[in-house]
Amino acid sequence: MSTAVQDRPFGSILVASLLLLGLLGPVPARAELPVESTGQVVTLPAPAPHWAWVADPLLRRSTLVDLDRGKTLGMVSAGFGPIMPMLAAGRGEVMVAETHYSRGSRGERTDVLTLYDMRTLAPTAEVVLPPKRAISAVPSNHATLTDDERFAVVFNLTPAASISVVDLAERRLAGEIATPGCSLVYAVSGRRIAMLCLDGALLVIALDEGGGEASRKRSAPFFDPQVDPITEKGVRIGDRWLFASFEGYLHEVDLSGEVPAFAEPWSLFDDGQRSDEWRIGGAQHLALHRKSGRLFALMHQGGVDTHKESGSEVWVYDLAGRKLLQRIELESPGLTIMGFPIEVPEDWIWPLSSIASGIVNAIGSAMGGDEIRATQDETPLLAVTSNFGGGIALYDALTGDFLRRIYSGNMTNVGLIAPFGGQAP
């Protein structure tokens, strides 16, 4: 091995270094930064329509993000597994069903429903749950609030299915209700909860004043789970829930009456699109803007059983007319590493900057979109995230125009909700 550098006198190295520094010009003076004040407690303003929660199972938290400013407003810790915060706007509280192990990923298990103040994000109370709440990679519809915000309902799976009911007024566990063969929880009016069953039926449970079971009704099957099962990732408009099937048929369930009513399913694809193997996909592949009646669906091209693959486009439908309005080709949601964005500096010289930007965008676009949500205001945003990064791509939900990217600070985004426009989507 050459030892030329090792044998060179230290003085020569020092002189050469000084000459090099001289050629590069004078070292700029350090900027004097203001001393940061620590220990501040900040109170959030009233929630805005373009705020959203983005969960990160790796960092075990859910982050509150201002989509307009691209700014992180705060976060809540969540314990083990992905989480989905629930907003009780009338109570000014955020609620999270959490699981904690005494030794991190093992040891004694404790499940709790933790209540956080919406303005400070400080925990204000917790209710101990039976240690059996369901935990899965996609946490949608694992817990919900009744419409009057009196009760929180948490789905359990051991593999026996049940629900835990928490009385939010009295801060106590109201009880557990067995729901054999039926899973997940979907809120509907009248202090009722709907659940999907193994045979394709729907179970509707009404709660009494104490949080116990007042009644239960089970419908006939409305889809065939052996031929074309629906996904569990539904969206709500009033007392209707919409579910897409693996083969791309939209099922509409009307729960306004005592007995569920099921509309005739309609296809999200025409014959040509089916021949081209367009399919629904992603971890949360439906979103809805209620006022305009627009339904958004993540789409990709792939074979049978690819319903979990990321989407390359978002297709926009008119619900009333049951027709396709627009196809939005997705931009990259943004590459990140350890929560930090990978971006090409603006002062890089061309063509280096052009080449680097092309590589970053190509990789980011190949990641695709995994979750979509729409805000519910007059100027709605459509947010698209990837499970493999902390970036969020934002679109105008009415025109489909790409607006910008923002970053949540998360290592990964698994669990996206935009609940600050009234009724939960």
Q: Model confidence over 162-186: pLDDT tens digits? A: 999 999 999 999 999 999 999 999 9
User: CA of 272: how far to CAs of 106, 244, 275, 276, 310, in Å?
Assistant: 51, 19, 5, 6, 21
Was domain 74-225 assigned CATH 2.130.10.10?
A: yes
Q: Which CATH class is domain 268-425?
A: mainly beta
Q: Is residue 371 within 8 Å of residue 416, measured between CB atoms?
A: yes
Q: Which of 275, 307, 284, 306 has the alpha carbon at shortest distance from 382?
A: 284
**Cβ neighbours of residue 109 under 8 Å, at least 6 residues apart?**
99, 100, 101, 102, 131
pLDDT digits over 39-91, tens only?
Answer: 777 899 988 999 999 988 888 889 999 999 999 999 998 888 878 899 998 89
Q: Where are the domains of the chain?
A: 74-225, 268-425
pLDDT digits over 262-311, tens only?
Answer: 999 999 999 999 999 999 999 999 999 999 999 999 999 999 988 889 99
Q: Is residue 167 within 8 Å of residue 146, measured between CB atoms?
A: no
Domains 74-225 and 268-425 share a fold: yes
pLDDT digits over 279-292, tens only?
Answer: 999 999 999 999 99
Alpha helices, DSSP H only, in 192-239?
Answer: none
pLDDT score for 318: 97
